Homo-oligomer: A and B are copies of this chain.
Amino acid sequence: MSATDRVQEILSWYGSDNPGTLTNLARILNHGRLGGSGRLVILPVDQGFEHGPARSFAPNPPAYDPRYHYQLAIEAGCNAYAAPLGFIEAGARDFAGQIPLILKLNNKDSLLEEKDPNQAWTGSVHDALRLGASAVGFTIYPGSSERFGMYERIRALGEEAKAAGLAVVVWSYPRGSGLDKAGETAIDVCGYAAQIAAQLGAHIIKVKLPTSHIAQDAARKVYEKEKVPIESIADRVRHIVQCAFAGRRIVIFSGGAKEDDDKLFAEARGIRDGGGFGSIIGRNSFQRKRADALRMLDTIMKIYAGQA
Contacts and interface: CB of A to CB of B under 8 A. Distances in A.
A22 interface: yes
Given A199-B122, A222-B55, A97 B147 contact: no
Contacts of A15: 19, 89-94
A217 to B, nearest CB: 11
A142 to B, nearest CB: 5
Interface residues of A, number: 125
Nearest to A13: B90
Contacts of A93: 15-16, 19, 22
Number of copies: 5
Interface in A141-164: 142-145, 147-149, 151-152, 155-156, 159, 163-164
A20 interface: yes
B16 A66 contact: no
Contacts of A212: none
Interface in A1-35: 1-3, 7, 11, 13-27, 29-31
Given A16-B93, A59-B222, A192 B124 contact: no
Given A66-B246, A228-B58, A25 B97 contact: yes
Contacts of A31: 1
Contacts of A189: 111
Interface in A101-126: 107-114, 118-124, 126
Nearest to A77: B2
Interface stretch (A172-180, A259-267, A268-276, A297-305): A172-180
A98 interface: yes
Interface string A230-246: 00000000010011011
A130 interface: yes
A207 interface: no
Nearest to A149: B120
